[in-house]
Amino acid sequence: MIRSLGDWSGGLCGKEDSILRAYLYAIDNAEHFIYIENQFLVSSLPDQGVINTVVDHIYAKISHAHKIGKTFRVIISIPLLPEFEDNLGVKDGCSMEIILYWELSSLFRKGSLIDKLINEAKIPKDEVWKYVSINALRNYGYLNNKLVTELIYLHSKLMIVDDMVTIVGSANLNDRSLLGYRDSEIAVILEDEELEDGHFDGQPVKVGKFSHSLRKHIFMESLGLLGTTDGNKIVEDPIIESFYKDVWMMTAQRNTDLFEKVFGGKCVPSNSAKTFSELNEFKKLIGLVTSNVDEAHEVASQIRGHLVEFPHHFLENQELQNAMFPLSTCFYT
């Protein structure tokens, strides 16, 4: 059992930040693979007051793997937006903008994980994605006999490392949840003792029965493989290129394209919208669901699971509402 607990909430003399320390220890000791699924990821922006170092430790693992030429993958799944689409770019949506500012700053903008991998670790821009894949989930269905879509709002707080160690609990990956003296959180770290055969990059290894089965179930659900005869086999090795590139990343890209083709401007956020002005224009785009219902059904049937790409160019040329709110570090990180 691990916690974030402070004197104000737990009567401690000082604080407990064992959740943060467990995350950092597990990341530092990863040999092949890290899977992270979390509601928020705001990290490693010390110049802006965000002091947890989760992203820095991920950067260090990837940088080292690149230096020695080792296959190492990090897959991160977060919500497409920290709130729902209709709150973006409107007066009442400033909290959305602020959280987006912090998350995009942590992952994609100057000084972020991706930026540092390119400019400090000197990984070529088109090769960064060999090491890290940042994804989200989207769904579609029928409402009053009409095709509709919405994002799947991830609320889980989970990390699986090497199919051997699992951390799961209530803590988001931000200062509020991790530093110990702010929000109170609880989690468990599970290290498998019962082992079974697995594979990493085509090589046989021993993996933990629980962590391995949990990770495979999550992957099969994301890829639409639950209940299929070959789903377990397909997701068995999460880092081999024939899965990581040809199944995981290809499915995310293909689903993203299909969703936008069917639903047009309903698929917010999108790489097509780099400013609020472009976002307003993007929302006007008509998808097949409006222009050709029969074709919309046919194309939608090609979507596999829920996995989509996180649009890393979204609002990259837009100044988001953070500088206007000097206390945002306290409330939103």
**pLDDT band at residue 322 using 50, 70 and 90 as cut-offs:** low
Give the pLDDT confidence score for residue 323 in this predicted structure.
45
CA nearest to 312, candidates 153, 26, 118: 118
Question: Could you write out the DSSP letters of every residue in 132-169?
Answer: EEEEEEEEEEEETTEEEEEE-----EEEEETTTEEEEE
What distance, in Å, lies between the first and last C-alpha atoms of the chain? 24
Give the pLDDT confidence score for residue 99 in this predicted structure.
87
Q: For residue 216, how many other CB atoms are within 10 A of its CB?
A: 21
Segment among 40-54, 81-95, 135-149, 302-316 with least mean pLDDT: 81-95
Give the pLDDT confidence score for residue 92 in this predicted structure.
53
Half-sphere exposure of 246 toward its Cβ, with a 13 Å CA cutoff? Answer: 7
Is the model more confident about 233 or about 83? 233
Tell me which H or E stretch contains 317. none
3-state secondary structure of 194: coil
pLDDT above 90: percentage of residues in the chain:
84
**pLDDT band at residue 197 using 50, 70 and 90 as cut-offs:** very high
